[in-house]
Structure 1
Amino acid sequence: MKIKNIFFGFMLFCFAFAFNSCESFLEEEPRENMSLSQFYKTANHARSGVNVLYNTGLITYYDAGVYNGATIAWGPYLSGLYDNEYKGQEVIVQYSQELTISQSNIANQMNTLWGNCYTAIARANTALKYIPGIEDVSFAAGEKERLIAQAKFFRAFNYFHLVKFYGDVPLVTEPYESLENLYVPRDPSSAVYALIEQDLKEAIPALADAAFVNNGFRITKATAETLLANVYLQMSGYPLNTNRYTDAAATARSIINAGKHSLTQHVNHAERSAYNILRTEDILTEYVFSRERSATIADYQNRWVQLSFPVYAAAWGTFKYTLTNNAIRPMPTLINAYDPVNDLRIQERQFFFTQYPDQNGNMSQFEQPSPWFYLDEEAMFETGISGKDFPIYRYAEVLLIAAEAIAQAEGVTAEAVGYLADVRARAYTTRTRAQIVSELSALSREAFIEQVWAERIREFSLEMKIWDDIQRTRKYPVTSASNRGVVTFIDVIGAQNPWGATFQEKHMLWPITEQELQRNPSLTQNPGY
C-alpha cells in the first residue's frame, strides 16, 4: 500500500488556504506550508482542512479529459457498453472492453485511483482528529459540527468507491504521523461498509437541512442521506447480500418527505425540456450533489463539453476547442434501451444527438450518437471555457432507490410504483402518468424491480452509474434493435459484452497493482489476477 508516499508527506505539511472573498470556496489556493503544530488552531484552518476535501480524491474523478474520458468512467468502460475514439491511446478502455485488465497493464491508472482516494481519506482523518479540539469564537453556531460532518462524508464517499472497486481494502481511520504501522492489511468489506455507515449516520444530524444548491454547493443532510441510501442498496446486493433494503427505503423516504428536492419539469419538449434544462443550468433542486466547476477559474473548468462531439468534428474549425472526442460513446445496447416512440430522452438533442451542421452549414451525420447532455454551446462556440457542474446525485436517483428498495422490502406498493412512475412519466411524454402507474402496478415484484434497473440505465446513461448496478445485481442488460425500449437481464457471469468478451467472476473487482503489493507486503491480490 502506498501509505508512506501518499500520507506521510501530507501529515507533516498541511495546506493553509487564503480566505479572500471569491466566487466560491473552490477558488482558495495553498498560501504556505504549515506544520501540524501551527495548523488546525483556528476556525480558518478548520475550514481550509475541509475545503480541500471538495477537490481531493473521488470527487476529482468526475472531471473529464478529452482523451481518457474520465476516471469515473472506468467502471462503465469495463461494462463494455461505452466506447472511446482514443482507446488506442487510452489502453484502459481497450483492455476493459476485451476484459483483459491485469495488475500490470493498467497499473498507472489503478495506482492513481487507489492513491488519490487514500489521500482524501488521509486528509479527512486529519481533519477529524484536530478540528474537534479547535476553540475559536469565530466559528458560527454549529459550524464546527458541520465541518466535522463534511469530513466524515468525504471519508465515507472515498471508501465507498474503494470498496466497490477492490472489495476488501485497508481501513485507515487515523492520521499517519509517524513511520509506525504503515503496512495495513486489507480489512473485510463488511468492516469498511460499517465505517461508511457509521460516518454517514453521525454526519447527517449535523449537516444543513437545505437543498444542495441553496447551501453554497456544500454537503447537506440530503446529500449524505442519498449516499447512505446508495450504500444500503449496494450492501443489499453482491458481494455482501446483507439485505438492507428496509434501511435504503427509510433513508430515501427521509429525503423525499423533507421536500427540499424535486424533479426538474419540462417547459416544452424541445430546447426547454427538463433534460436540456439539466444540461444547461446548475441552480436546480434536482441536484442533490454535483462536482462544482467554474468558467472563471481555469483549473476548475468543465471539460465534459469536449466529449460531446466526435473526433473528426474538431476539424470543422468552428469550435473554441482544438480537440473533441466522443469518449463516452454509447454502444447500441444502451441506445436500444430507449423506446424511440415514447421516450423523450432518446429524441434528437435531448440526451444524445446524431448530426450537426459542419463549417459549411451542411448537416454532418455522426457514425454513432454523441452525448448532447455534455454540450455547453456557449463554451463550445464562444468562450472555450465551461463552468457547467457535473451531477453526482440527482433527485431522480433518490426516487429510483426508493422504488427499488420498497419493492424489495415490501412488494409492489402504490408508493414504489409512484416513485418509478415519477421518473418514467417525465420521459414518456406520449403517455399519461396514470397509464404508466396502471402498467407498473400489474407487474410481479421481480418484473417491477427489473423495470427500475432498466429505468436507471436510461436515466443515468451519461452519469457513470451502470457498473455499480451490474456489480450489485450481478445482472447484465440485453436489448435488441428489433425491439427497442425493452431491456431484459441475464447473469453477468458468463455473459458476453458487445465486444465478444465473456465476464468471469474476477471481473467484478479490479486488480491491485504489483507496485502496491510491493510497497505493502501485508496486501493480498484479488482472486483471479
Structure 2
Amino acid sequence: MFLQMKTTLFYIAMMLALVVTSCSKILDTTPQDFVSPINYYNTESELQSALAGVYDRLGDNRVYSQGMACYMVFSDEFFMKSQTSGMNANIVDASTLELNRHWEAIYTGIERANMLLENIDKAVKVTEEKRNEIKGQALFLRAYYYFMLADEFGPVPLKLQSSKSPEEAPLPGTPVKDIYARIVADMKQAEELVKSVSDYGYNTRITKTTVQGILARVYLTMAGFPLNDVAKYADARSYAEKVMLSGLHGLNPDFKQVYINHVQEIFDTRESLWEVEFKGTNQGEIQEGGMIGSYNGITSGNIEMGYGYDYVHATAKLYNAYAAGDQRKDWTVAPFRYVTTGQTAVKTNWAADQIYDRSNGKWRREYELLLPRNQNYTGTNWPLLRYADVLLMFAEADNYVNNGPSADAYKAINMVRRRGYGKDVLLPDVQADAAAGLSQPDFLDLIRNERLRELAFEGLRKHDLVRWGIYPSVMQAQVREYQANMPAALKDPAIAQAQRVTERAVLFPIPNSELAVNPNIKQNTGW
C-alpha cells in the first residue's frame, strides 16, 4: 500500500509539474498537454510556459487566493465571524484538508521549479540573457516557496532536484538554519539574473528590487524567532536600502488608490513591487480568478454590487490603533456594509459602537471593471510586497543596528505615516510624524503598531508576531479582550479561535499527506 500510494503521488507530481494550467495575460502562456522533459524545455515559449507553472501555485485557493488572506494567518487584526468548525475557526490538525492542500500546492511549485532549472540549458536556441532571466525567477520562486514552508512548518524536506522515480527515498526535515542558508543563496543568485521592473512595466514578474525587498524580509525573519540571529538585522537594513536607493519605487500619494489599483488590475510598480496576478471570474476557458474581495471583503449579499462573505471582521485593537486624522482607518476597516432590499443593495453605515461588526474594507468590489460580477471569483491582485513595507522594514532594522532609530529610520516611518494622514510624504507634519527621541524599545513598539495599521489584512501580521516571538501571548491577550468587550452574539467563536493559538500553534503540524509517504520526517512538537 505504501509503495502504491507513493507511486501514485509521484505520477501526479510529474503531471502537475509538466501540465501548465496558467493562462496569465502577463506570462502569455497557453495550456500544454502532458509532455516528457525529453522533448520539452527547448524553446523560449516552452520555458515561459514552464515558468508560468511555477508562478501558478501562488494563486491556489489554499495559498494567496484565499487561505493566506484569512484562515491560515489568524492574528490580532481579525477574527472569522461565527465560524465554529474547520480551519475557518482555526481548528487545525495534521488531517486538515486545507493544510494538506497548502503543503501540496507549495511543493508542486517547488517540483516545477526544480524541473525547469534542471532542463533550462537544453534550450540552446534561446539567448543566454533570456535563459538567465527565466532561471533567476525560478530560483527565486523556489526559495520563496521554501521561505513559506520554513516559516509555517519549521524543518521541512529541502528537495532541490525533481523526482525521477517513485522509489526515491523520502527526505527528512532539514534544519531551519540550513533551509534559510539555501533561501539566501538562491535569492542572491536570482538578484544577479533577473531584470529590473522598468524592463516590464508590471509587477507580477520577479524583478531585482522584488528580490532585494523579499531578502530584507527573509533577513528580518532570521534575526527573530526561531533563529534569533541578530547579525541579520544589518543585512535586512542593507537590502531594504537597496530598494530605497534604486529610484524605482515610491509611495502612492493616495492610500486607498493602492487597493483600487489591485481591484482594477492597474500595475502601480512604484508602490507595489510584487503581486499575485488573478484574472477573470472563472467562467470561461481561463480559470485564473481569485477570491480577494469576496471571501475576505465587505459584507454584502448582492452580486450586482459585489458579493462579500461575512467572514473576515476587524478587531477593536485594529480599529482603535488609528489616531484621529489617519485616513487609513475607514478604508482598511469598512465603516459600512451592503444591505439588500429586493434587488437593490444599499450602502449602510455601521453605528459608532458597532466596531466588531466591521469587515475588511481594502479590496472593494464596487470598483471592479469586469461585469457582470461573479459571486466568488474576482480578478483582484494580491500584494506580496509594497514599498511601504520596505520602508518599515528598513526602519525596524536600522533601529536595532544603531541601538535606536537614526534620522533615516525616522524619515522612513514618517513617510508611511504622512501618506496615511493624507500629507506630503516629504514634508514634516506635526499631526502625522512620530514622536522624536524615542528609545530603541519604544521605536520598536511604534514599528509594530505601524505595521498593524499599514499592512492590515495583507497576510503579514501573523508572520510578524511569530518572528517577534510574541504570537501566543498577543493572541491570549485577544482572548481577554474578546471576553471583556465583544458583543455577546460574536464573542464565543472569536474567543475559541484565539484560544487555539498556544505555543504549539507557532508552527503548523506536518500534514498527513506527507507523513503517509515519508517515514523519515518528524511531526512538530505538540501535534
Q: TM-score range by the shorter chain?
A: 0.7 to 0.9
Q: What is the CA distance between 1:181 and its match in structure 2? A: 3.0
Aligned to 1:55: 56
Q: Matched residues in 1 for 2:282 and 2:345: separation?
A: 33
Distance in 2, matches of 1:472 and 1:306, equals: 29
Partner Cα distance (1:381, 1:203) in 2: 35
Equivalent residues in 2 for 1:213-292, closer than 5 Å: 214-215=201-202, 217-243=204-230, 244-266=232-254, 280=264, 282-284=266-268, 285-292=270-277
Task: Pick closer, same or farther for the CA change 1:61–1:214 going to 2, 3 Å.
Answer: farther
Cα distance, 1:108 vs structure 2: 1.1
Higher fraction of strand: 1
1:337 corresponds to which residue? Answer: 321
> What is the correspondence of 1:149-188 to structure 2 with a 5 Å cutoff?
149-188=136-175
Distance 2:368 2:228 in 1: 45
Shifted more, 458-467 versus 384-393: the winner is 384-393
Q: How does 1:80-95 map to 2 (within 5 A)?
A: 81-85=77-81, 87-88=83-84, 91-94=86-89
Cα distance, 1:249 vs structure 2: 0.5
Asked if structure 2 preserves the Cα contact closer than 8 Å seen for 1:264 and 1:274, the reply is yes
**CA distance in structure 1 between the aligned counterparts of 2:257 and 2:46, rounded to whole angstroms:** 44
Trace 1:90-169 onto structure 2 (pairs within 5 A). Answer: 91-94=86-89, 96=90, 101-104=92-95, 107-136=96-125, 139-140=126-127, 142-169=129-156
Provide the C-alpha distance between the structure 1 equivalents of 2:24 and 2:16, rounded to a whole number of angstroms: 27
Q: For the residues of structure 2 that align with 1:346 and 1:177, how far apart are their CA atoms? A: 52
User: Matches of 1:81 and 1:23 in 2, distance apart?
Assistant: 32
Name the CA distance, whole Å, in 2 between partners of 1:23 and 1:494. 42
Runs of 4+ in 1 over 6 A off after TM superposition: 16-19
What's 2:39 paired with?
A: 38
Cα distance change, pair 123–278 in 1 and its aligned pair in 2 (3 A): closer
1:183-194 equivalences under 5 Å are 183-194=170-181
Is 1:301 the equivalent of 2:289?
yes
Does structure 1 residue 504 correspond to structure 2 residue 478? Answer: no
Work out the CA distance in 1 between the residues paired with 2:154 and 2:24: 39
Which residue is 2:70 aligned to? 73
**Secondary structure at the counterpart of residue 173 of structure 2:** coil
For 1:50-104, what per-residue CA distance to the aligned partner results, in whole angstroms no more than 9, with x for missing partners? 121121257665544xxxx534423432x35423346246x1121x2xxx53324
Conserved in 2, the CA contact under 8 Å of 1:83 and 1:329?
A: yes
Distance in structure 1 (CA, Å) of the matches to 2:414 and 2:294: 34
Alpha-carbon spacing, 1:180–1:433, altered in 2? closer, same or farther (3 Å): farther
Q: Is the 8 A contact 2:132 2:193 kept in 1?
A: yes
CA RMSD of aligned residues (A): 3.2
Q: Secondary structure at the match of 1:373?
A: coil
CA distance in 2, matches of 1:362, 1:131: 54
Tell me how far apart the structure 1 counterparts of residues 143 and 514 of structure 2 sit (CA, whole Å): 22
Instruction: Quote how far apart the aligned CAs of 1:48 are.
Output: 1.5
CA distance in 2, matches of 1:44, 1:330: 45
SS state at 1:293 partner:
coil
Alpha-carbon distance change, 512 to 4 in structure 1, aligned in 2, over 3 angstroms: farther
Aligned counterpart for 1:353 among listed residues 318, 335, 340: 335
Taking structure 1 as the reference length, the TM-score comes to: 0.83
Describe the SS at the equivalent of 2:384.
Answer: strand
Q: Is the 8 A contact 1:57 1:119 kept in 2?
A: no
Paired positions, count = 490
Q: Is the 1:281–1:388 Cα contact (8 Å) retained in structure 2?
A: yes
TM-score, normalised with respect to structure 2: 0.84
> Per the alignment, do residues 333 and 122 of structure 1 end up closer, same or farther by CA in structure 2, a change over 3 Å counting?
same
Distance 1:468 1:207, change over 3 A: same
Instruction: State whether residues 153 and 509 of structure 2, in contact with CA within 8 Å, keep that contact through their aligned partners in structure 1.
Output: yes
Cα contact 2:305–2:365 (8 A) shared by 1: no
Q: Which amino acid aligns with 2:326?
A: D
1:420 has 2:406 as partner:
no
Aligned counterpart for 2:400 among listed residues 397, 403, 408: 408
Cα separation, partners in 2 of 1:513 and 1:13, compared to 1, 3 Å: closer
**Distance (Å, rounded) in 1 between the aligned partners of 2:335 and 2:476:** 33
Distance, in Å, in 2 between the alignment partners of 1:159 and 1:443 is 36
Output one character per residue of 1:259-301: Cα deviation in whole Å (capped at 9) or x when no partner. 11110013xx9xx766656665622121100011223864223
**In the alignment, what sits opposite 1:28?**
29
Query: What amino acid maps onto 2:363 in structure 1?
Result: Y
Mean CA deviation greater in 429-438 or 402-411: 429-438
CA distance in 2 between partners of 1:197 and 1:7 (Å): 29
CA distance, structure 2, for counterparts of residue 356 and residue 16 of structure 1:
41
CA contact (8 A) 2:59 2:290 kept: no
Structure 2 counterpart SS, 1:306: coil
Aligned partners of 1:23, 1:126: CA distance in 2, in Å?
Answer: 20
Which whole-Å deviations, capped at 9, do the CAs of 1:239-263 have from their partners, x for residues lacking one?
0001201000100111110011110
What's 1:484 paired with? none
* Contact 1:146/1:208 (8 A) holds in 2: yes
Q: Which moved more, 1:438-447 or 1:452-461?
A: 438-447
Q: Once the 2 structures are TM-superposed, how far is the Cα of residue 491 of structure 1 from its aligned partner?
A: 4.4
In 2: Cα distance, 1:115 partner to 1:363 partner: 40
Cα distance change on mapping 1:357 and 1:72 into 2, 3 Å? closer
Q: Kindly indicate whether the alpha-carbon contact (under 8 Å) linking 1:305 and 1:374 is maintained by their aligned counterparts in 2.
A: yes
Query: Which moved further from structure 2: 461-470 or 515-524?
Result: 515-524
Q: State the alpha-carbon separation in 2 of the partners of residues 515 and 12 from structure 1.
A: 18
Secondary structure of the residue aligned to 2:457 is coil
Question: Which residue is 1:464 aligned to?
Answer: 459
Quote the residue 2:468 is aligned against.
473
Distance in 2 of aligned mates of 1:58 and 1:293: 7
Percent identity, aligned pairs only, is 25
The answer on whether the counterparts of 1:294 and 1:387 sit within 8 Å (CA) in structure 2 is yes
Is the Cα contact below 8 Å between 1:75 and 1:468 reproduced in 2? Answer: no
Deviates more, 1:113-122 or 1:494-503: 494-503
Separation of aligned partners in 2, 1:211 and 1:426: 24
For 2:388, which of 396, 401, 415 is the aligned residue?
A: 396
The superposition leaves residues 159-215 of structure 1 with CA deviations (integer Å, 9 ceiling, x where unpaired) of 111001110000100011113433110010011111110110000011112258615
- What is aligned with 1:482? none
